[in-house]
C-alpha cells in the first residue's frame, strides 16, 4: 500500500484494502445526525456475529448532513450514530453526491484495533471471492432520487425490474461483476443480470409522518458460499 502520509487520515490506495473475504453491503440508512442509528447498530452487531470482514455502505448513510465537512468532522459524526470501535476490520462508505451525505473528498482513516475506514465518492470496486462488486449510490445514473424512484417503480409495474441499473450496467460495459446501488428506494436483485438495488431503511420524514418513498431495505451478504440477498421486513 502506498500512502502519502502516515497520519490518522491519509490519501491512500491499495488493492488489499479493496479486497474482502466476505462482505455485508447495505445502502440508504438515512441516519439522523447526532443521534444513535438503530439500524446501523443492528447491522454492525450482525456483521460481528457473522465474523464479516467488510461492511460496505452504498450512500445516504446520513439523512441530514449535506454540507462541506472535513474527515475529522465526518468521523466525529459517525461516532455519534454508531460505536466506531465495534466496526469490522474494514468499513467502506460510498458517499452520495446529490443530497443527504456530507461533501468531502475520499480519505482513509486508520482506527484503533487495526481497523480501516475508507470513505470515497461515486464508485467503489470491491473484490470478493465470489464476484467483483461495483458499488455506487445511484445518483450517477439519475441525479434525482425522486425521479429515479418513479422510473424504476413504474418499470417494475410493467415487468421491468431494476431498469435503471440494467441500462447503466450495459452503458459502462460491466460484463463481469455485480452492480450494487441504492438511491431509487426500489429494492430488488437479479444475479443473472448482475444487478442489485439495496432499497432504503427510511420510513418517516420526522416523528411519525410517513416518508412517501417508503420501501423495504435489502442486505447483500457475500461470502465463500456465494451471494445471498435478503429483503428485510422491518415494518
Q: What is the CATH number of the domain that holds 111?
A: 3.60.21
Structural domain includes residue 168: yes
Is 206 inside any structural domain? yes
* Sheet (strand 9-10) strand order: 9-10, 107-111, 115-121, 90-95, 54-57, 23-26, 218-223, 226-231
The pLDDT of residue 16? 55
Sign of CA dihedral 196, 202, 203, 205: negative
How far apart CA 48 and CA 191 sit, in angstroms, is 26
Note the pLDDT of residue 213: 58
Backbone angles phi, psi at 72, to 5 degrees: -65, -40
Domain hosting 168: range is 18-222
Question: Is residue 78 classed as helix, strand or coil in its secondary structure?
Answer: helix
Say if 228 falls within a structural domain: no
Q: Is residue 118 situated within a structural domain?
A: yes
**Domains held by the chain: number:** 1
- pLDDT value of residue 151: 96
Question: What is the edge-to-edge ordering of all strands in the sheet holding 123-127?
Answer: 123-127, 132-136, 178-181, 195-197, 188-190
Residue 12 lies in a domain: no
Positions of the chain with pLDDT under 70: 1-17, 204-214, 234-235
Give burial (CB, 10 Å; 0-12/13-18/19+) of 235.
Answer: exposed
User: For the whole model, what pTM was predicted?
Assistant: 0.89
Do the domain assignments include residue 29? yes
Q: Grid coordinates standing for 43?
A: 447491522
Residue 9 inside a domain? The answer is no
Return the bridge partners of 90, or none. Answer: 54, 116
Q: Supply the pLDDT for residue 210.
A: 63
- The answer to whether position 230 is within a domain reads no
Amino acid at each position: 500500500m502506498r500512502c502519502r502520509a502516515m497520519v490518522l487520515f491519509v490519501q491512500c490506495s491499495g488493492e488489499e484494502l479493496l479486497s474482502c473475504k466476505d462482505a455485508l453491503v447495505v445502502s440508504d440508512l438515512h441516519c439522523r445526525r447526532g443521534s444513535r442509528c438503530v439500524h446501523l447498530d443492528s447491522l454492525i452487531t450482525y456483521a460481528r456475529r457473522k465474523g464479516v470482514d467488510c461492511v460496505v455502505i452504498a450512500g445516504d448513510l446520513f439523512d441530514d448532513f449535506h454540507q462541506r465537512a472535513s474527515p475529522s468532522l465526518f468521523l466525529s459524526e459517525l461516532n455519534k450514530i454508531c460505536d466506531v470501535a465495534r466496526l469490522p476490520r474494514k468499513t467502506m462508505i460510498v458517499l452520495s453526491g446529490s443530497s443527504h451525505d456530507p461533501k468531502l473528498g475520499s480519505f482513509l482513516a486508520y482506527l484503533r484495533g487495526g481497523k480501516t475506514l475508507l470513505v470515497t465518492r461515486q464508485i467503489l470496486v470491491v473484490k470478493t471471492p465470489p464476484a467483483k462488486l461495483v458499488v455506487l449510490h445511484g445518483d450517477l445514473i439519475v441525479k434525482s432520487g425522486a425521479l429515479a424512484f418513479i422510473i424504476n417503480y413504474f418499470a417494475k409495474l410493467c415487468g421491468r425490474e431494476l431498469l435503471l441499473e440494467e441500462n447503466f450496467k450495459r452503458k459502462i460495459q460491466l460484463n463481469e461483476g455485480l452492480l450494487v446501488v441504492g438511491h431509487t428506494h426500489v429494492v430488488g436483485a437479479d444475479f443473472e443480470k448482475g444487478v442489485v438495488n439495496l432499497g432504503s431503511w427510511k420510513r418517516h420524514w420526522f416523528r411519525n409522518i410517513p416518508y412517501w418513498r417508503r420501501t423495504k431495505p435489502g442486505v447483500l451478504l457475500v461470502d465463500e458460499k456465494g451471494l445471498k440477498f435478503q429483503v428485510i421486513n422491518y415494518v
